[in-house]
Amino acid sequence: MSAPSTIHLAHSPDSDDAFMFYALADGQIDTQGISYVHELQDIETLNGRALRGELDVTAVSIHAYAYLSDQYALLPHGASMGDGYGPMLVSTKPMTREDIAGQRIAVPGLMTSAYLALRLFQPDFIPVVVPFDQIEKAVLGGGVVAGLLIHEGQLTYKDDGLHLIADMGAWWLEKTGLPLPLGGNVIRKDMPRDLQKKVSRHLRESIAYGLDHRKNALDHAMRYARGLDRSKADTFVGMYVNDWTLDYGERGRRAIRLFLDEGVKSGVITRPVTVEFVDD
């Protein structure tokens, strides 16, 4: 593959991803002649597009990476890690892990890391795929017994009177002592190696710039906050754009390998996975 001057960079239209890529989108980073075209779609759509090899660089679910590792490598920057918190399983009344066995549960996609985590938590349930921003409504409407919330719903479910059954990130931390790996950025492996490293540096610089210029980056991110006030948006961004996002580190990489290994052992992931990082 020849070195392109335009890189298609895909990510979710969420406040945390917007914060992460603010500096690139706003021209604050010297991109050394590379033009970045930002494509914004929900994570399950991006997972599908990556499976078809349509994107140069994209955010994906760590679960989906299990089926992408032949075409894409993980960048060391851009992780969304739930360090003691993560996707929230909620219902209209208090319930236990045993109560949800065999029940219909709304999930944001079968390739999401939230879905894999829930399968590890409770293997016996009927998944009902619902757009991530409609899951609370599905639970309140009674079409499902419970719903698995990602993104802003993790901060707003109490406002709708919903009850927390389990926090997947808290459960995983108690089980493994590690953060729950939810999302990451991947890059095509058939790109020239020097280009992969250059793109990796640009993404890291963008994340670092946002963290160093938090007010401006948050101003940008508020366009994608879907009804969160600034305080809650700042909290949400802080949950998923932090030191883990700058670099997975040894613990973060171990968490990814264990999460995917557990997925393979459980049978949810149907093939062995070799995790490969692009290192600067």
The catalytic site residues sit at 151
Phi-psi region of 84 (alpha: psi -120 to 50; beta: other; left: phi over 0): left
Q: Judge whether 117 and 165 are in contact, CB under 8 Å.
A: no
**Exposure class string for 84-121: b at 16+ Cβ within 10 A, else e:** ebbbbbbbbeebeeeebeebebbbbbbbbbbbbbbbbb
Q: Where are the alpha helices (DSSP H) in the chain?
A: 15-20, 22-25, 43-51, 62-65, 113-121, 135-141, 153-156, 168-176, 193-212, 214-221, 230-240, 243-246, 249-266
Instruction: Give the three-state DSSP class for 35.
Output: strand
What is the chain's Cα-based Rg? 18
**Burial zone of 237 (CB within 10 Å; 0-12 exposed, 13-18 middle, 19+ buried):** buried
| Helix (H), strand (E) at residue 36 | strand 35-40
Q: What residues does 277 pair with on adjacent strands?
A: 74
In 50-198, beta strands by DSSP E: 57-61, 72-74, 80-82, 88-91, 104-107, 126-129, 146-149, 163-167, 180-188
Looking up tokens 């059954």 gives 165
Q: What residues does 166 pair with on adjacent strands?
A: 89
Amino acid letter, 79: A
